[in-house]
Structure 1
Amino acid sequence: MASWPYGVAAWARNRAFDRGWKTVHRAAVPVVSIGNLTLGGTGKTPCVEWVARFFREQDVQVAVVSRGYGSDAGRNDEAMVLEENLPDVPHLQDPDRVAAAGRAVEELESELLVLDDGFQHRRLHRDLDVVLIDASCPPAHDRLFPRGTLREPVGGLRRAGAIVLTRCDQVPARDVEAICEWLARRWPSTPVATTEHRPVELVGDGGSTRPTERLTGAPVGAFCGIGNPAAFRKTLEGIGAAVTNFRAFPDHHAYSRADVDDLTRWAETLPPDAVIATTQKDWVKLRLPALAGRPLWAVRIGLTFRSGQDAFTAALERVPRS
């Protein structure tokens, strides 16, 4: 029963936008939204990076616009990661994303906007809605918040122009096939791509890098503060790391001096030959070269397509250019 009032509110809000009772603002340039149906992490940041890079490689001036959740003290972790990986793509954070879109066009001369976590933000018109679904938590088996993690009923997928299944390497192939079949039955005209979040490299102090094979066969102490910490642990284990100790903080965790001291004490308890690893989102906030005298390495993740890349690219190509 706790989900019922939430579901009614979500339905009423979407209906108001569908019927034109709430105003939708159109930016002066095309907008591509990357979002999801659920609370928590589905791996949006690597997809935002992939899409922004796709348009930059075509010489389109791109800006990322987001609400900036967890950015009260400045840029949040997603913005810092994107700045690290895409230094020529500005990231504007503002709860008023309509206003941020205007600034991106007027002040930065942006030609296309990528709206981060924008599926439920319907005040800003978008030319393409990309919706991410975590294959390890399919919406068909989920429930509306607070009983589950759904932000809105699964019927909202009718608004999607493309669907991307993430973390397909972390579930059996038959489960991925079942999700694709379910999507094809309900939304047969919507292209579906399957992907995985693959480790690209390790990043350390001063921007130094190491191949991910550095973790293969090694004892690893790891920690993170992301929406799906179990996915990070599976990523490490997929590299071949022997995760001996794992710590999870809340999503978008703002690390304090006390946290650093606590992590230092924790690092001292790890085996002498252990490697310490975290996510790039956590690393850009900490910027620590080491913990307890041991180098701290961030695992940089990239989006890799398994199937459906051509259809996804075609959906992006259909976005009008300013």
Structure 2
Amino acid sequence: MGTVSNFPYRVVTDDVHGPLVSVLKFFLWVLSLVYLLAVTLAVWLYRSGILKQHRLPCRVVSVGNITVGGTGKTPLVIKLAQIYKQNKLKPVILTRGYMGRGITGHNKQSDEVTMLREILPDVPVLSGADRIRNAEEFLENNQADVFILDDGFQHWRLARDLDIVAIDATNPWGNGRLLPRGILREPLYALRRADLLILTKTDLGAPPIASIRQRLKDIGCRQPVVETVHKPAGLTDLKTGTPRELRIIAGQTVCALCSLGAPAAFAATLTRSGARIQKAFNFADHYVYNVTDIRSILEHCRRNHIGIVITTQKDAVKLADLRDEFQKARDVRLFSLHVELTFRDDTGENAFLKRILDLS
């Protein structure tokens, strides 16, 4: 089985070429002009007060991005919640959640929501499109010190006290074009609205960090820019639920399995952990796996004498209904890789802590 590619994503990131693709890109460029007009109008309506922002009775910290795809926003949300808990505050996460259908055909809870609830069992995670209503209903019978608004940079309807934007250092702005011709959700100058910029995966970045910082200065960004890395923290044997140390994959030939917006970063993290990737099964972002997918992967492992498949924590949630297939394959082990967001230096960490804890 070949890798399941996301053709539309490959088009907008200029990974595919050809006469017909060029025509398609032209139409996407025209649509991006319409999109720019809509985004510009929406921002102006809210900033001018014609459209009213709703303010909750407690603090709101937004964590968002300016591109589609995997920027590393989820580890940042987890880090925030953990820091607030450590400081005796009551955080609540507001997320829209991406719903899909499992192999039974029934609606499933978002894999990201499930993962957040597993990692943060003592932090309420409210999932749903109307995040304002979810927050207000929660406050009717519960207390909260701070709401963490997941994917909130473009959620202009809800006022926030702090706007944090995650920027993927491995692919900070794609080809520099707006949706649907590129991966930008807003023009780059919109980053000036943010209070804090977080560069993620800086240890894997292809562009030099200095060039990213210079670009931010060129567009007028004067807020703190904090560098972070996604540090591998361990493994879980998904057949037994047993935690395992990273060293067991060092020097091992493995297959990687994920459905992420940025699969290359996952592969790079595995490689830095000492694994040798024989094949990466990269599915489209938010893909819902089926039995045929898993059986094909396992057959590839048997043919090539691969005894380990490694996936992400998010994908581990989506694979829960399919673990019986792996249980039958006694010669193939399935692990999920845990990563945590860490800071590259004390200066960045101190700037981050000061900004998120000083919301008065």
* TM-score, shorter chain, exceeding 0.5: yes
CA distance in 1, matches of 2:308, 2:294: 17
CA distance in 2, matches of 1:243, 1:18: 49
CA distance in 2, matches of 1:268, 1:26: 56
After TM superposition, the structure 1 = structure 2 runs for residues 40-189 of structure 1, keeping only pairs within 5 Å, are 40-71=69-100, 73-139=107-173, 142-171=176-205, 175-189=208-222
Offset at residue 185 of structure 1 (A): 4.3
The aligned counterpart of 2:229 is: 196
Q: CA RMSD in A?
A: 1.8
- The DSSP-based 3-state class of the residue aligned with 1:65 is strand
1:256-293 per-position Cα deviation (integer Å, ceiling 9, x unaligned): 23333333333323425x32100110012213273622
Offset at residue 306 of structure 1 (A): 0.8
- Structure 2 residue 342 is matched with structure 1 residue 304: yes
Any unmatched runs of 5+ in structure 2?
A: 1-28, 102-106
Offset at residue 188 of structure 1 (A): 5.0
> Does the 8 Å contact 2:174/2:182 carry over to 1?
no
Offset at residue 141 of structure 1 (A): 5.1
Larger C-alpha radius of gyration, 1 or 2? 2
CA distance in 1, matches of 2:162, 2:316: 31
CA distance in 2, matches of 1:195, 1:131: 13
The aligned counterpart of 1:268 is: 302
Q: Which segment is superposed worse, 174-183 or 278-287?
A: 174-183
CA distance in 2, matches of 1:150, 1:185: 17
Q: What TM-score comes out, normalization by structure 2 length?
A: 0.84
> Does the 8 Å contact 2:92/2:147 carry over to 1?
yes
> Does the 8 Å contact 2:235/2:338 carry over to 1?
yes
Alignment: residue pair count: 318
1:224-272 per-position Cα deviation (integer Å, ceiling 9, x unaligned): 0111111111111111211001111111122223333333333323425
Runs of 4+ in structure 1 off by over 6 angstroms are: none
Offset at residue 103 of structure 1 (A): 2.4
CA distance in 2, matches of 1:153, 1:188: 13
> Does the 8 Å contact 2:251/2:274 carry over to 1?
yes
Over the matched positions of the two proteins, sequence identity in percent amounts to: 37
CA distance in 2, matches of 1:254, 1:64: 24
Any unmatched runs of 5+ in structure 1?
A: none
Distance 1:21 1:234, change over 3 A: same
Distance 1:65 1:140, change over 3 A: same
> Does the 8 Å contact 1:140/1:154 carry over to 2?
no
CA distance in 1, matches of 2:173, 2:99: 26
Distance 1:232 1:140, change over 3 A: closer
- The DSSP-based 3-state class of the residue aligned with 1:232 is helix
Corresponding residue to 1:37 among 63, 66, 72? 66
1:24-81 per-position Cα deviation (integer Å, ceiling 9, x unaligned): 1111211111100011110111000000101011111111111112356232111111
